Amino acid sequence: MKPGIIVIACIGLIAVAMPRDALAGVWRWGCKGPAGENEIIFTRYNLAVVPPKPSRGTLRHLIFLDDLGKDEPDVSPYVAEDENSGFTPKMEFSRGDDGKDRITLTEKSSKSVSHRSAMVCGRDESTDVYRKVYRYQHNAEPARDVTLQCMEYQLTTRGGRPCINRP
């Protein structure tokens, strides 16, 4: 091979392998609130019914967790049936190999509490907080209403907009 071709191939390989700005968007949501003597926490990926103490953090912190029971041996979370639909009127979570242990949340009402939007390094960021009332159904237990504080967070891709770092 000619040295010129090798140099061009190496430059091309380096250009492809160099890290670039992350362009992926972020979409997270979840809720938390009391359910009798326990607390319901759910995110895009799973749901856990836990004692209210100790605190597991703020809702903003919780929605960024990929696994609610990861660091807690006594918590066995339910897995979301559909993690890509957002706040739909009916959400289902299950656990176990057979999927028979289920929790279903059916939205009865929703009220917007706050909305915040900003531009973050060329990306649109929005945070919406809601108060939602759900009909909570666990297997064959009697259904009950629970009121939860919910949050939806979105950070878009840059869409070709430059990131301007200011001193």
Q: What is the pLDDT of residue 10?
A: 43
Percent helix, strand and coil across the chain, each to the nearest 5: 10, 45, 40
pLDDT in tens, the chain (167 residues): 565 555 455 444 444 444 444 457 899 999 999 998 999 999 999 999 988 887 888 999 999 988 887 777 777 889 999 888 888 999 999 987 787 899 999 999 999 999 999 888 888 899 999 999 999 999 999 999 999 999 999 998 877 667 765 55
Taking the complete model, does pTM exceed 0.85, yes or no? Answer: no
Give the residue from 62, 57, 26 showing the smallest Cα distance to 42. 62
**Which sign, positive or negative, has the C-alpha torsion 53, 54, 58, 61?**
negative
What is the three-class DSSP state of 6? helix
How many C-beta atoms surround the C-beta of residue 72 within 10 A? Answer: 14
CA dihedral 94→99→103→109, nearest 10 degrees, is 80
Residue 13 CA, chain-centre distance (Å), reads: 35
